[in-house]
Every structure is written in structure tokens, then in C-alpha cells.
């Protein structure tokens, strides 16, 4: 088979010095108003505390934007420790997600469990590096990138912080429908629902003691539905219109821990599916009940019984907003 590799980044002082934790596509127009609407950049985060933005048009030779997250950026009220923190201690990032309406607003999770909202417009522009051929390499594509001598100053990219998890956060997921909602899945065995506008979580879900959540994912078609993968191999589905504590459906997907799940796009495929990957890297596709993919709202029938009626996603989103109103401080 032909080599499918198209582009590859080059190691330098600019790039990550620790394993890359997560990648995300972002519209190029956020950081460059002259770019076309169909152009995208790549955003990467790492355990070294760096957040980088890469241009495809520059062949991933070097990042164009950079910021750092440090421990001293976390407010004392969030750290819960009233001691001075030495400046410059990197805060390892674990995952990233951005608002469905504001692509420049990023939610970042970290290894110690801290969560912050950052803005791409706070990132620093990197100067163009010196690029030379590596004369000692037999591969003509190998390059040496030298960082300019001037010191690159970055500012605190965060403009809002949230009450932390106790321990590393596995993943973070912004709602594809609501501009201010996001879910987090932590190693403290909780899944939390936050609003961009409130420090404390709206809802904390503590699944049954027999399992610990490993990944969380919003539905692409129902604003109030999400799924949680677990270390016991099951996938649990929740509908916030019915209950935030009791799952409405369970799939016994594997005997191994689930490491990734995703819903298919119902606007492309009329049949609802979910894909799961377990710890043995076994991928499975599951056909879902239509209830999990068709938007519903709770109504009263002629006998005053509560029933679920199909509707459109905008109406379900409106109902979800009303349900969560009393959760705000």
C-alpha cells in the first residue's frame, strides 16, 4: 500500500517536549481573518503545559501560535491551598474542547484535575524560525529548526476557572448544541456538567460503585442525551430530561475498559449508531434505539400522565435550558 502520511511535524524548541495529549481542528479564520472559510488549523496540547496552533499551509514545519499554562495561573480559591506557588511550573493538559458557537473559547482539562476556559486571542504569535537542511542526515526531508534568540513572552490564556476534579481528567466535551455547557469525566469516578458562566458544576454524576467512568460523549442529535464509557466495559446512556442519576439504557460493550466512544452524525446517516473502542483496541459499532437519536420532550397526556413526544432539537434544547435553570447559582 502507498504511504498515507501527508505531513509530519519536526521536533524543535518550539514544539512539545512531552507526549501530545490531544489534537483538535479549529477554523483558521479565528486567528487569521484573511484565511478562507474552509481552511483549518490544528491545535495541540501536551503534558508539558504548551498549547500550540499549527498551520497546514506551512506543512506543520513549526507552530504559528503558542501559549503556556502554569500552576501559578490557578487562583487560590480554586487551588484550595493557601500557599505561594513558584512561577513557571507547567500544568500538564489532558484534553481540550471548544464552544459550538464561539470557536475561540476553549475548555482545557489538566492532570491535577483543574479546568479552565481559555481564549485563542490570548495566544502569542511566534516569530518565524531559522530552517536549515540537516546535512548529517541521509533523509533529504530532515530539517533543523532554530528558534530566534529573542525570548517569547506568553500571557495567561485563561479567563475563567472551575471547581476541580480530584485527580486527572480523562476527557472533556462541549455540547454540540448549547454554547455554554460542557461535560467532564475524571479519575475521581465522577462525571460533571458545567456551565461556561459558573465556577461550580451544575450536576455531579456519581455512577454505581462497581464501575468508574473513563470517557463521556454528547449525542449529536439530542441536546439532553450523553453516554459514559466505563472501566467495566459498559456504556451508559443518560437523558437529562428524565434523570441525571439513573441511565436510560446500558450496552455491555466489552469485558475490557472502554477508552473511546462516539455517536454517528444523524444528518448524514438516518440510522443511529455508536462506535466504541476498548482497552484491547477492539472497535465495535452499535445500532441504537431511535429514542436515543430522535429529539423528545416531556409532556402530559389527556390523563395527566407524563410521556415523551418526538420533536426537533431546538425545542428539546429549550426544555433542557429550563430544566437546568434552577441549577445556576
Residue 139: pLDDT band (50, 70, 90) is low
State which of 51-65, 138-152, 171-185, 301-315 shows the largest mean pLDDT. Answer: 171-185
What is the torsion angle, in degrees rounded to the nearest 10, for the CA atoms of residue 14, residue 16, residue 21 and residue 24? 20
C-alpha–C-alpha distance, residues 122 and 30, integer Å:
12
Q: Inform me whether the pLDDT recorded for 267 exceeds 70.
A: no
318 is a domain residue: no
65 is a domain residue: yes
pLDDT digits (tens, 9 = 90+) for 25-38: 988 887 776 677 77
- Per-residue pLDDT, averaged over 203-229, amounts to 89
Q: Sheet containing 283-287: which strands, arranged edge to edge?
A: 258-263, 273-278, 283-287
* Amino acid 27: pLDDT: 85
- Per-residue pLDDT, averaged over 200-207, amounts to 89
- Per-residue pLDDT, averaged over 53-78, amounts to 87
Beta carbons of 222 and 296 less than 8 angstroms apart: yes
276 is a domain residue: yes
DSSP assignment of 106-120 equals EEEEETTS-EEEEEG
Residue 42: pLDDT band (50, 70, 90) is very high
- Per-residue pLDDT, averaged over 69-78, amounts to 87
Grid cell for residue 117? 476556559
C-alpha–C-alpha distance, residues 195 and 163, integer Å:
11
- Per-residue pLDDT, averaged over 264-271, amounts to 73
C-alpha–C-alpha distance, residues 70 and 88, integer Å:
6
Grid cell for residue 329? 447559582
Beta carbons of 258 and 214 less than 8 angstroms apart: yes
Q: Inform me whether the pLDDT recorded for 122 exceeds 60.
A: yes
C-alpha–C-alpha distance, residues 183 and 216, integer Å:
7
322 is a domain residue: no
Distances (CA, A) of 312 to 180, 224, 296, 300, 315: 20, 12, 7, 18, 6
For residue 38, give its domain range: 20-294
Q: Sheet containing 191-195: which strands, arranged edge to edge?
A: 169-174, 181-186, 191-195, 203-205
265 is a domain residue: yes
C-alpha–C-alpha distance, residues 27 and 111, integer Å:
27
The chain-wide mean pLDDT, for the chain, equals 84
208 is a domain residue: yes
Residue 101: pLDDT band (50, 70, 90) is confident
pLDDT digits (tens, 9 = 90+) for 236-259: 999 998 888 889 999 999 999 999
142 is a domain residue: yes
Residue 301: pLDDT band (50, 70, 90) is low
5 is a domain residue: no
Of 239 and 301, the structure prediction assigns the larger pLDDT to 239
- Per-residue pLDDT, averaged over 263-269, amounts to 74
Residue 296: pLDDT band (50, 70, 90) is low
Residue 193: which CATH number? 2.130.10.10
- Per-residue pLDDT, averaged over 141-167, amounts to 77
Grid cell for residue 305? 400522565
Q: Domain count of the chain?
A: 1
Amino acid at each position: 500500500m502507498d504511504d498515507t502520511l501527508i505531513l509530519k511535524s519536526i521536533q524543535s524548541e518550539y514544539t512539545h517536549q512531552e507526549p501530545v495529549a490531544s489534537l483538535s481542528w479549529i477554523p483558521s479564520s479565528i486567528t487569521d481573518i484573511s484565511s478562507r472559510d474552509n481552511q483549518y488549523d490544528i491545535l495541540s496540547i501536551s503534558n508539558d503545559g504548551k498549547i500550540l496552533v499549527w498551520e497546514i499551509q506551512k506543512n506543520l514545519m513549526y507552530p504559528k501560535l503558542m501559549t503556556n499554562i502554569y500552576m501559578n495561573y490557578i487562583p487560590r480559591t480554586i487551588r484550595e491551598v493557601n500557599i505561594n506557588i513558584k512561577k513557571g511550573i507547567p500544568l500538564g493538559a489532558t484534553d481540550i474542547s471548544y464552544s459550538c458557537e464561539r470557536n475561540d473559547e476553549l475548555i482545557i482539562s489538566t492532570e491535577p484535575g483543574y479546568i479552565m476556559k481559555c481564549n485563542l486571542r490570548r495566544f502569542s504569535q511566534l516569530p518565524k524560525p531559522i530552517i536549515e537542511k540537516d546535512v548529517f542526515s541521509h533523509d533529504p526531508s530532515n530539517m533543523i529548526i532554530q528558534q530566534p534568540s529573542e525570548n517569547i513572552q506568553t500571557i495567561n490564556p485563561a479567563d475563567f476557572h472551575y471547581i476541580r476534579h480530584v485527580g486527572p481528567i480523562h476527557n472533556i466535551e462541549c455540547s454540540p448544541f448549547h454554547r455554554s455547557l460542557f461535560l467532564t469525566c475524571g479519575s475521581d469516578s465522577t462525571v460533571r456538567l458545567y456551565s461556561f458562566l459558573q465556577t461550580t458544576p451544575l450536576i455531579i454524576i456519581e455512577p454505581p460503585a462497581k464501575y468508574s467512568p473513563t470517557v463521556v460523549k454528547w449525542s449529536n442529535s439530542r441536546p439532553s442525551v450523553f453516554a459514559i464509557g466505563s472501566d467495566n466495559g459498559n456504556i451508559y446512556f443518560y437523558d437529562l430530561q428524565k434523570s441525571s442519576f439513573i441511565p436510560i439504557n446500558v450496552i455491555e460493550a466489552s469485558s475490557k475498559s472502554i477508552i473511546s466512544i462516539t455517536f454517528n452524525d444523524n444528518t448524514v446517516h438516518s440510522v443511529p449508531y455508536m462506535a466504541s473502542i476498548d482497552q484491547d483496541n477492539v472497535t465495535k459499532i452499535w445500532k441504537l434505539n431511535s429514542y436515543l437519536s430522535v429529539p423528545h420532550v416531556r409532556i402530559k397526556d389527556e390523563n395527566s400522565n407524563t410521556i415523551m413526544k418526538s420533536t426537533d432539537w431546538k425545542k428539546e434544547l429549550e426544555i433542557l435550558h429550563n430544566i437546568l435553570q434552577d441549577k445556576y447559582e
